[in-house]
Amino acid sequence: MSFFARFAQNRGALVGLVILLLMIAMAVLAPVLFPESPWRMVQRPFLPPFSQEGFLLGTDTMGRNVAAGLMHGAWVSLLIGLVSTCVALLIGVPLGAIAGYYGGLVDDALMRFTEFFQTIPNFALAIVLVAIMQPSVTSIVLAIAIVSWPPVARLVRAEFMSLRNREYVEAARLVGQSNSTIILRQILPNTLSPIIVLASLMVATAILLESALSFLGLGDPNVMSWGYMIGAARTVIRQAWWLSFFPGLAILLTVLALNLVGEGLDDALNPKLSRER
Amino acid sequence: MKTPLALAITAAALALSTAATAQEPQRGGTIDTIIQPEPPGLVLGMIQNAPTRTVAGNIYEGLLRYTTDLEPMPQLAESWEVSDDGRTYTFHLREDVTWHDGEPFTADDVVFSADVFHRELNPSARAVLQHVESIEATDDHTVVFTLTEPFGPFLISFEAGTFTMVPEHLYAGTDFRNNEHNDHPIGTGPFKFANWERGTVIELVKNDDYYEEGLPYLDGVNWHVIPDGGSRAVAFENGTIDVLPSGTVENFDIPRLSAMDNVCMTEEGHEYFSPFAMLWMNNREGPTADKRFRQAVMYAMDREFAKDVLWNGLGNVPLSAFGSNARFQHDDLEPYDHNPERARELLDEMGYDGEEITILPLPYGETWTRWAEAVQQNLREVGINVSTQATDVGGWNQRLGDWDYDLAFTYLYQYGDPALGISRTYLSDNIAKGSPWNNVEGYENERVDELFNAAATAFPDEEREALYLEVQEILHEDVPVGWLMELGFPTLYRCDVKNLVTSGVGVNDGFKDAWLDR
């Protein structure tokens, strides 16, 4: 059974994939459909949704087009989700691999270091980091990466510990392959499937983290993101529900989609573990 | 020429106003209002911050009060004279005034308050007192201030919050800051301090021995402390609170609250402070050092939009450096209207190369953040490469104090006279690192210095006016800072609270005349 067929067996995952593709399409098409800046004040403020042509989702407190903000925001949210996950993997995977492969003192040292990060509440640390570095896309990506790599390191370490004494690793050692070659060429490829599944869930968490930071006013003040839209609309929620509803819905759908896709990937990559259907 | 219609309207208006004044004030009742944030103490002069002024302005009094046009009214001084050379001010005090503890109020209290108490404790009074050579009580109810040279804003400096009268018999010879009476302030005002439950409420009760016949009408005023903005709005909505002094609810709640039944709003009562929102522009370096760039910024901004959308239509878009409540305002300058074309021309003319500049918003809440977004968008639309840097209050203070910014939002009080609230922003000897309140933009112009300094000590007012008009023309051309808006600071109240705002400091001394129509 092909990879995709296994993936598609999970109906939820298929739905998730479709939603995710839609979000990506939104992000990619944003500059085509709304070439003007989403910050531009284009109509009178507080226009309700579906009330005027060209402003399908209405306008916000300053007369900016909500639909334009939503589409440009998709780009920001997905970009930050993906990039920060990649950065987190770049930190977590090598640390976990080295700790798991070498064991002993190296493992102890690296794991204590990891625990140091794990004991601080994620969100609190992210707020502090962004506040210190000044809110910008770069600082937000870094902050999210710094708070989300420890689980990766833990996972990779566990995988490496279980694989490092397998026969094919010992064979590689016998033929004189160096440690780095063994780590990169022999073991790492065999740990990829749990990493991919974890990564897909991390993208979802990263999007939530970014939204929460922007909601608190710690987003990059120069880019329109979903969290910012909700944060700015919070104060007028009694007058204008649509300002928080649509970006909220977008966040909900995207995070849900990523979780569903992650589950589908899990089924597809680990067919033996997958539940009976 | 008056048409019959205009005559009819005038007649109707007259009839209405007589009807309104004919309504007999009722006695009794207690008003519940808000103080935000809770003041650190209530002794004016020792503590200068806004909530202290608001509560204690009803306990303490100054020699004078000011109308909403900032004309002096009698208070503790029933009359005053200014000598022909503008150097001697004689105040005749009321003779029937007693402190809340029963002691009579005399000229010695004035001399002690001005010459000892405020000179030691109060920086804003000190700024005025440096022009004062001597203060003498010539008899029990006459005080003479002799100035070293004429000082234009002298007569507007006697507002209770700036220059309050404190009792000599309780403070003389003591350690002012640790005086036992600080916890139970004794003033001459219409209300006496009754009780302060920290974190909950400050209660003032009627001063039965008040010297103005029949005043106050109210039995008391309770100042409630409610730390959360949303809860304050709800307390007003559900009727617990009768009066919301300006600044006690979030800006975005005002349209909703003011639309309620039996709720009135007034923009009067802040003329003395008249907060003026400005855009600092760094005159030292970068594109903002070029006058044409600064003018382009003025033309690029849609200030009317900011007023209508962000400030609910309250406030006023100023022509230039002097706001509408400042004296000696020049009203014949070409306004910096929203004109993106003109902005682009100016940028072309100076050869702006797209160098990136940053905006530092004022971290005082949502409205200021939105405002920075709107200005950023305005500037981008004329081709200025601009980005925003978010900071907290500490960061904002530090960046401005270190001159590490291109454009930054702020607002400053005008204090009724250009020599008190306006010149400080433009005088070159007011350039000093470390403070976000002085000449932060780094503007230096000898002629402007000359004019401002001459105008502060010129006498009489006609002389001052000529100098101030010239200075406004220069500033209008140079645009040392961006003049954004004179902010409207509305007071919301139940319509059955009558006669609430009767002076240029609003509720800070307004409960004296207020009464309840219930």
* CB–CB contacts below 8 A, A to B: 50
Tens-digit pLDDT profile for residues B494-516: 998 888 888 888 888 889 888 88
Tens-digit pLDDT profile for residues B296-318: 999 999 999 999 888 888 888 99
Judged against a pLDDT cut of 50, whether residue A277 lies above it is answered with no
CB B250 to CB A235 under 8 A?
yes
Q: Residue B267 in contact with residue B490, Cβ under 8 Å?
A: yes
What average pLDDT does the segment A87-96 reach? Answer: 95
Better-predicted residue by pLDDT, A275 or B71: B71
Q: What percent of chain B has pLDDT over 70?
A: 96
Partner-chain residue, chosen from A41, A218, A236, that has the shortest CB–CB distance to B252: A236
The span from the CA of A222 to the CA of A138, in Å, is 12
Chain A touched by B393 (CB under 8 Å): no
Chain A touched by B256 (CB under 8 Å): yes
Chain A touched by B413 (CB under 8 Å): no
pLDDT confidence bin for B6, thresholds 50/70/90: very low
Q: Take residue B193 and report the two structure tokens written for it.
A: 């301090």
Q: Which residues of B touch A134 (CB under 8 A)?
A: 389-391
3-class state of residue B191 by DSSP:
strand
What secondary structure does DSSP assign to B89-107, as a single string? EEEEEPSS-B-TTSPBP-H
Which of A275, A193, A232, A252 is closest to A16 using CA atoms?
Answer: A252
Chain A touched by B385 (CB under 8 Å): no
Enclosing H/E stretch for B222: strand B220-224
Better-predicted residue by pLDDT, B91 or B48: B91
CB A134 to CB B391 under 8 A?
yes
For A45, name the nearest residue in chain B, comparing CA atoms only. Answer: B309
Amino acid A273: pLDDT: 63
SS3 content of chain A, % helix, strand, coil (to 5): 75, 0, 25
3-class state of residue A253 by DSSP:
helix
Average pLDDT of chain A, as a whole number: 90
The span from the CA of B426 to the CA of B481, in Å, is 9
Q: Which residues of B touch A131 (CB under 8 A)?
A: 392
Burial letters B413-449, b for 16+ CB under 10 A, else e: ebbbbbbbbbbbbbbeebbeeeebebbbbbbbbeebb
The span from the CA of B68 to the CA of B179, in Å, is 35
Q: Residue B219 in contact with residue B205, Cβ under 8 Å?
A: yes
CB A131 to CB B392 under 8 A?
yes
Amino acid A254: pLDDT: 94
Q: Residue A72 in contact with residue A64, Cβ under 8 Å?
A: no
The span from the CA of B347 to the CA of B287, in Å, is 10
CB B374 to CB A45 under 8 A?
no
Sign of CA dihedral B263, B266, B272, B278: positive
User: Chain B neighbours among A 41-70 (CB < 8 Å)?
Assistant: 41, 45, 61-63
CB A135 to CB B390 under 8 A?
yes
In B410-490, which residue ranges form alpha helices assigned H by DSSP?
A: 418-421, 446-457, 461-478
Amino acid B268: pLDDT: 87
User: How many angstroms separate the CA of residue A96 from the nearest CA in chain B?
Assistant: 36
Amino acid B223: pLDDT: 93
Cβ-based neighbours of A99, under 8 Å, separated by 6 or more: A106, A107, A110, A111, A114, A153, A157, A160
Mutant choice from A42, A62, A140, A215 vs B, greatest count of B C-beta within 10 A: A62
CB A238 to CB B256 under 8 A?
yes
Cβ-based neighbours of B200, under 8 Å, separated by 6 or more: B224, B225
Q: What percent of chain B has pLDDT over 90?
A: 40
What secondary structure does DSSP assign to B287-305, as a single string? GGGSHHHHHHHHHH--HHH
Instruction: Say how many Å lie between the first and final Cα of chain B, rounded.
Output: 43
Residue located via tokens 């589908």: A264
- Torsions phi, psi for A226 (to 5 deg): -60, -45
3-class state of residue B64 by DSSP:
strand
For A132, name the nearest residue in chain B, comparing CA atoms only. Answer: B391
What secondary structure does DSSP assign to B113-167, as a single string? IIIIIIHHH-HHHHHHHTTEEEEEEEETTEEEEEESS--GGGGG---TTTS----
For B230, name the nearest residue in chain A, comparing CA atoms only. Answer: A235
Tens-digit pLDDT profile for residues A174-189: 999 999 999 999 999 9
Amino acid B24: pLDDT: 81
Judged against a pLDDT cut of 90, whether residue A56 lies above it is answered with no
Better-predicted residue by pLDDT, B4 or B221: B221
Mutant choice from B389, B398, B407 vs A, greatest count of A C-beta within 10 A: B389
Residue located via tokens 């987190």: A88
- Which range among A245-254, A266-275, B74-83, B376-385 shows the weakest confidence by mean pLDDT? A266-275
Amino acid A16: pLDDT: 94
Domains of chain A (ranges, CATH numbers):
3-31+63-276 (1.10.3720.10)
Tens-digit pLDDT profile for residues B63-86: 999 988 888 899 999 999 998 888
CB A217 to CB B369 under 8 A?
yes
Helix, strand counts (H, E) of chain B? 16, 20
User: Chain A neighbours among B 205-224 (CB < 8 Å)?
Assistant: none
Whether this model's pTM surpasses 0.80:
yes
Q: Residue B315 in contact with residue B486, Cβ under 8 Å?
A: yes
Amino acid A149: pLDDT: 94
Tens-digit pLDDT profile for residues B236-254: 999 899 999 888 887 878 8
Amino acid B507: pLDDT: 85
Q: Which residues of A touch B392 (CB under 8 A)?
A: 131
Q: Residue B482 in contact with residue B297, Cβ under 8 Å?
A: yes
Chain A touched by B382 (CB under 8 Å): no
ipTM of the complex: 0.83
Tens-digit pLDDT profile for residues A198-230: 999 999 999 999 999 998 888 898 889 999 999
Chain A touched by B373 (CB under 8 Å): yes
Domains of chain B (ranges, CATH numbers):
26-59+189-270+489-517 (3.40.190.10), 62-168 (3.90.76.10), 275-487 (3.10.105.10)
Residue type at position A104: G
Q: Take residue A23 and report the two structure tokens written for it.
A: 């979000």
Sign of CA dihedral B222, B47, B69, B93: positive
What average pLDDT does the segment B8-31 reach? Answer: 61
Asked if omega into B37 is within 30° of 0 (cis), the reply is yes
